[in-house]
Structure formats: C-alpha cells, structure tokens
Structure 1
Amino acid sequence: MQEAITFLVEKDEVFKKLHQQYGTFYIPSRPSGFVTLCKLILEQQVSIDSAKACFIKIENLLGTISPKTISQCSEEDLKSCGVSRQKISYLKVLANAVSAELDLESFASKSADEVRNELIKLKGIGHWTIDVYLMFALQSPDIIPLGDIAVVNTIKELFDVHTKEEMEKLSENWKPFRTMATFILWHHYLEKRNRKPFA
C-alpha cells in the first residue's frame, strides 16, 4: 500500500497535493466469493443504502445467502425484498453458474484479465462490477474503473481531462498502481461531499 502511494505521489503533482491534504486514504476491501458478487449486482445503478436494505431483507428471508438458496428462492419472494426483476435474473444466472462450473475460489490464483474473461460471460455482470470485485475482493493492484461516475467526474475535476480515451491515456502514468490511484480519487470525491468513505 505504502509503495503504491509513494509511487503516485512522486509521479503526479495532483496525488501529491491530495496526500498533503488528507494524509491517509481509506482502502476498502470485501471478502471474495458469491455473497460479495450478489451485493455488487444489487448495488448497480442505485445507492449503497438502497442496495444494503435489499440485501438485509434477502438475508432475513433466506437465512444464508448461497447459490443454492438464491436458485431455489422464488422471483416473488426476491421481488418482495425490493429486488427488480432484472436483478433477480442476474442473481439467478450467477447462482446457477457457481453451482455448475464457475469456480470463484480459483480467481485468487488468476490474472485480472482471466477473471474478467470468466465473469463478463454472465448476464448482468459488466465491467464496473468486475472492476470493483477485482479491486475490493481480489486486491488487484492495477484497475481503473472508467465506468464509475465518481472516478470519471473526479478525473475531470482534478485533471481537466474529459474523454474516456484521454482518461485511459492519463491513467497509463499511474501503472502499475491504478487501483490505489482510484482509491485516492474516490476518497477525494467522498470527502468533498462530506460522505463517509465506502460502506
């Protein structure tokens, strides 16, 4: 962690100023596995609080959240927990894949690209979900989620860079620690809005 911060602070004047401003940065993490992926599906395009409320209702309903319990749960019961029909289908696709051939435990020994290539095949799991899973659960060091609106808006604000192509080019300077760069950008985004860093 410190190696990554030192690298970015020495490499980029913006990160140097943010480090001077905040001192330390909150580094989020989540356990790897099925439950975290379910939570990320619920978090797509809604607030963290809304997704958390849905998850708690599902947990109260099922007791244990697993591929088996999600597969067996009726659509009506999941809908009663506040889950949209679209996300219900995504949860069930994931549950069925894990029950069949998808080995989530093997991801720990695979590259980020290998993990991405396996997860992207599943309906409802796009690059944002994969990026966050790689960063939070697998601690992949070099991820830049340019599908995340907070990251995009913060890059625009701090670097005056406005297209995805320009952002990708800019982020090349942050390799091989683009995950830490992202955490710093998120930290700044949340601090400016007086919001707690990550749930």
Structure 2
Amino acid sequence: MTKKRLAEGVELLCSKDKRLRSVVDRLGSPPQWYRRPGFRTLLYLILEQQVSLASARAIWNKLVALKQSEPTPSKFLEITDEELRSVGFSRQKIRYGRLLSEAIILRRIKLDQLQRFDDVNVHAKLTAITGIGRWTADVYMMEAMRRADIWPVGDLALATSVTEVLGLQGRPNVADLEIIGTRFKPWRSVAARIFWHHYLSDPKRKGSSKPT
C-alpha cells in the first residue's frame, strides 16, 4: 500500500464515518508504519507478542548489541539459549525463533514469494509455522506486505482504540471486533492505522511507538 493508496483509503473512510474523520482532523493522517519484509520483522513480531512495544524494543536492541548485528536465520540458530535468555527471550519465544529460522532455511516457507498469493493463502502459509498466530500474521501482512484489507482482531491497542473512538460501553472481544471491522472493508488496514494513530496519541501511553 503506497502513500497515495493510504491517503485514498483515509479519505474514503473519513467520508463515511465522522468518528474516524474526527481522529484525522485532530491528528492528521496516520503513518504507514512500514516494516521491512523478511525474517527480521517476523522475529521482532514474535518478541512483541503479549508484551508492550517498549519491552519488545528493549529486548531487540539487546539482541542486536549481543552480536553487533541484526540476526539472520542461520545466525539466530547459532546463539545459545543462555545468551537469548540473558537479553530477555522467554523459553517459548526462543523456541518460536528457532522454528521460524529452520522453516526459512529449509524453505518450508518462502517469504520472498508470498506477494504472489492472496490474503487467505498468505495467512495460511504464515500461521502454519509454530509461533506465528493470527495477530503476528495480520501485522506482518499489514506492515511488511502492505496489504490493504487486514484487520488484526487480536490487537489490544486496536480494541482499546475502537472502544474510545466509537464510544462503546466496553472493549469488544475478538468476535465483536471482527463484526465491527466489516464496515471498513476493503480498507480495514487503513482503518486500523487510524485507530492506532488515536491510541498512540494519548500521553498516558508514553513509550509506545511502532517500530520500523
């Protein structure tokens, strides 16, 4: 999704929903929040699972400092469990990182060829790897692959922001958030960015920022 396409989606959504228009009028259009496609981003997203963005960023920076470079699949497999634990990896995330590395090295998944497939097939290929669930696949498709119609229902920040922007009585569960998202098709990735833009604008959430 190019900047032009993002702007097109923002304008269309704002013309249909005054609450989204209010966010954009107050904060401006949301950033693209683009991440480089590949192993680095998937490993980073594994680190982000169920922790704050600030915590994931701190662990990542320690990992890079440990070896003085960003890891590749083969280099990640060379790092010992003890070293990974020392920078903040949990036992589970060590396992997920190793399984991802092996899948790429053995060509069980070909990240450089994913753009050839539609959203459903990309999602299936990513989530076939242990450790990559729906949220991780959704965010990778949104930010690394720039797909326009992804709605990460497992994202807590999205659910919180939807509650605030739409004036809901309580935070929606996954099923409710799925239903809410249908009104934003085929621009759900753009809608999610607008909601994230609102979420990250709150001073109480200082330290939260999207990685690049």
TM-score range, shorter chain: over 0.9
Say whether 1:180 aligns with 2:207. no
> Residue 35 of structure 2 contacts residue 144 of structure 2 at CA under 8 Å; is this kept in 1?
yes
**Can you give the 5+ residue segments of structure 2 that lack an aligned partner in the other structure?**
1-5
CA RMSD, Structure 1 to Structure 2 (Å): 1.7
TM alignment of 1:1-199, pairs within 5 A: 1-62=6-67, 63-101=69-107, 102-159=109-166, 160=168, 162-193=172-203, 195=206, 197-199=209-211
**Can you give the 5+ residue segments of structure 1 that lack an aligned partner in the other structure?**
none
TM-score by length of 2: 0.87
Provide the C-alpha distance between the structure 2 equivalents of 1:18 and 1:56, rounded to a whole number of angstroms. Answer: 32
Q: Quote how far apart the aligned CAs of 1:47 are.
A: 1.9
Q: Quote how far apart the aligned CAs of 1:60 are.
A: 2.6
Aligned letter for 1:111?
A: D
Which range is displaced more, 28-37 or 169-178?
Answer: 169-178
Q: Quote how far apart the aligned CAs of 1:72 are.
A: 2.1
Query: Residues 50-99 of structure 1, C-alpha deviation per residue, up to 9 Å, x if partnerless?
Result: 22222222223333411111122221121122211110000000000000
Provide the C-alpha distance between the structure 2 equivalents of 1:66 and 1:164, rounded to a whole number of angstroms. Answer: 34
> Residue 26 of structure 1 contacts residue 197 of structure 1 at CA under 8 Å; is this kept in 2?
no
> Any runs of at least 4 consecutive aligned residues in structure 1 with deviations exceeding 4 A, and if so which?
none
Q: Quote how far apart the aligned CAs of 1:32 are.
A: 0.2
Which range is displaced more, 69-78 or 98-107?
Answer: 69-78
Q: Quote how far apart the aligned CAs of 1:163 are.
A: 4.1
Please state whether the residue corresponding to 1:152 is helix, strand or coil: helix
Provide the C-alpha distance between the structure 2 equivalents of 1:14 and 1:64, rounded to a whole number of angstroms. Answer: 40
Structure showing greater relative contact order (alpha-carbon pairs closer than 8 Å, 6 or more residues apart): 2
Provide the C-alpha distance between the structure 2 equivalents of 1:180 and 1:53, rounded to a whole number of angstroms. Answer: 28
Query: Residues 10-62 of structure 1, C-alpha deviation per residue, up to 9 Å, x if partnerless?
Result: 11121122222222222211100001111111111112222222222222333
Across the two proteins, how many residue pairs are aligned to each other? 199
Aligned letter for 1:65?
A: P
2:3 equivalent in structure 1: none
State percent identity of aligned pairs. 34
